[in-house]
Amino acid sequence: MKIIIVGASGTMGKYLVTAFEKEHEIIRVGSKSGDVQVDITSPEEIENLFKHVGPFDALISTAGPTYVGPWKKMTDKEFRKGVEGKMMGQINLVLIGQRYINPKGSFTLITGALTHEPQLNFANASAANGAVEGFVRAAAIELENGIRINAVSPTVIEDSPQYFPYFPGEIPTTMKQLEYGFRKSVFGANTGQVIKP
């Protein structure tokens, strides 16, 4: 398969690239890194990505910038980081990418347990996740040509120990569990699902 991974240089992305690159053609994307540089907050840059890459079989997004910080410092400006990044960035990957993806292809977006289990400092991610999950369920009944869409929603992951103090009582998702959540979406048959690895 030809698989685009947006966020390929990140903690999740790096692991997924290593897991999938032996058997698949991987196109690595990031705003400052990868085979193609694309800022997902720009619809024009997203359009150029798909024009450049051509038809593909799967798109995985592990790019979802959000504001992480104290509630008291959060204003419209900070909140828009997640709205324009994790929410609209990922939604535009699908709205634009649906015109370039091969029939029976798939989109897999990233959300997170914060949708239903909020933690201090992460309100922006909770809200963006909820929007993306709603979009995934709605897009699944609209996409044509057998194209599927799912979200993967882990809690804090094994390779991000810097976040452990913010997630008291959460058993981290292992990188293997994360990988298999993405495998279920990309190589399985389900659509409109929020996969909790």
Ligand X SMILES: NC(=O)c1ccc[n+]([C@@H]2O[C@H](COP(=O)([O-])OP(=O)(O)OC[C@H]3O[C@@H](n4cnc5c(N)ncnc54)[C@H](OP(=O)(O)O)[C@@H]3O)[C@@H](O)[C@H]2O)c1
Q: Is 112 in the site for ligand X (CB under 6 A)?
A: yes
14-53: contacts with ligand X (CB under 6 A)? 30-33, 38-41
Q: Find all residues with CB under 8 Å of 41, minimum gap 6, and list them.
A: 65, 84, 85, 88, 89
Cβ(56)–Cβ(100) under 8 Å? yes
Q: Is 9 in the site for ligand X (CB under 6 A)?
A: yes
Cβ(32)–Cβ(44) under 8 Å? no
Q: Judged by CB, which is closer to ligand X: 89, or 145?
A: 89
Q: Judged by CB, which is closer to ligand X: 124, or 191?
A: 124
Contact pattern for ligand X over residues 114 through 153, marking x by CB under 6 A: -----------x----------------------------
Cα–Cα distance for residue pair 157/170, rounded to 1 Å: 10
Number of helical (H) and strand (E) elements in the chain, helices listed first: 6, 7
Cα–Cα distance for residue pair 45/47, rounded to 1 Å: 5
75-104: contacts with ligand X (CB under 6 A)? 85-86, 89
- Binding footprint of ligand X on the chain (CB under 6 A): 6-13, 30-33, 38-41, 62-66, 85-86, 89, 110, 112, 125, 154, 156-157, 160, 163
